[in-house]
Amino acid sequence: MMTDIVIPDLDHLRRAYASTAQATQVTPLLESRPLATMTGAAHVFVKPESLQWTGSFKVRGAYWRLKQLSPQEARHGVVAYSSGNFAQGLAAAGQALGIPVTIVMPIDAPKAKSDATAGYGARVIQTEHGDRPREEVASERARAISQEEGLALLHPFDDPEIVAGQGGAGLEALDQLEAKAAKADILFCPVGGGGLIGGVSLAFHYLSPQTEIMAVEPQGFNGMGTSLAAAAIETVPLGDRSICDGLMARRPGVAPFAAMTKAGARSLTVTDAEVRGAMKLAFDRLKLVLEPSGAASLAALLSGKTDVAGKTVLVVCSGGNVALTDFMRHVGDA
């Protein structure tokens, strides 16, 4: 079955990046000597996608996916479900391209994210999920709206074109590392459904195969790690919530899993406490405001669960969409 899945090749990634460059900005590659000293690494580079338009990497994949619509689909518009960052990225991409966007969001998604999504001109519909998995309820509502209104149904991560678009963050980082005459030995990247790490891992697989990919997930939501270990997609049981609201997928998407299987990776999990500590350190030492999901990969580096002594490390910090009150509460609890 996996052989039927399209895995973007290098040319595919490059075409997507050339297109999305029209609607995104190059986020910096920051070298942190304090982080290197703290962890024993030779060099630590941080790629803050929190500084991307809409506050996360998601606009990369969203813009490229919308560019693949037929003229008729673009006129009618699209619908998708999202807990926040894909919602904002898709809304902004739709606004830039003149494509109507409807987003179904769980009622408990951060208000800052739902407000920002509406601010980009999208129609936002919220769902109550009770004891059911929130992504399951939201996806059912999005599917119903698609059928009732004739809107193209888009998936926030399980789509080869989304994977290809997110791969731009990896290509960009590789160019920046080359400009610094550096090569990453280890890459830490967060995982929810896997769209970001799917694209980024493919970019490194093609251009920097010696780089070890570390897939970082919240404790209790390690669907990608469980699936990689089983060599088949697995769903983890519904557990307690995590403060990493954008990484609470219980199973990876088929397209990202296929990409990860091709590229190879190791997985590890981080606790909420470790994420809070990473948020505080990012603010204190890097002057970055990261949302919990965006700080997960930094938390993994700081946890010491991976030996980075003497190595060059790249950390992808995926987003910074967090309300000030929530940020202060998390940092205060660190």
Residue 1 pLDDT level (bands cut at 50, 70, 90): very low
Question: Both tokens of residue 119?
Answer: 């601010």
Encode pLDDT of 61-84 as tens digits: 999 999 999 999 999 999 999 877
Residue 18 pLDDT level (bands cut at 50, 70, 90): very high
Using DSSP, state whether 81 is helix, strand or coil.
Answer: strand
58-154: in CATH 3.40.50.1100: yes
Tell me the β-bridge partners of 213: 187
CA proximity to 205, closest of 2, 9, 25? 9
pLDDT of residue 264: 92
Residue-level length of the chain: 334
131 dihedral zone (left: phi>0; alpha: psi -120 to 50; beta): alpha
Using a 10 angstrom Cβ sphere, with 0-12 exposed, 13-18 middle and 19 or more buried, the burial of residue 243 is buried
Encode pLDDT of 230-273 as tens digits: 999 999 987 788 999 889 888 999 999 999 999 999 999 999 99
pLDDT at 218 over 70: yes
pLDDT of residue 110: 79
2-57+160-333: in CATH 3.40.50.1100: yes
Query: What average pLDDT does range 51-66 have in this prediction?
Result: 96
Question: Both tokens of residue 302?
Answer: 């700081």
Question: Both tokens of residue 186?
Answer: 């280890």
Report the b/e string of 136-167 with b at 16+ CB within 10 A.
ebbbebbeebbeeeebbebbbbbbbbbbbbbb
Residue 238 DSSP symbol? P
pLDDT at 2 over 70: no
Mean pLDDT of the chain, nearest integer: 94
- Taking the CA atoms of 201, 203, 206 and 211 in sequence, report the sign of the dihedral they define: negative
Using DSSP, state whether 82 is helix, strand or coil.
Answer: coil
Return residue ranges of the chain for CATH 3.40.50.1100: 2-57+160-333, 58-154
Instruction: Find out whether 108 and 82 touch, Cβ atoms under 8 Å.
Output: no
Instruction: Find out whether 198 and 260 touch, Cβ atoms under 8 Å.
Output: yes
Separation CA 245–CA 125 (nearest Å): 18
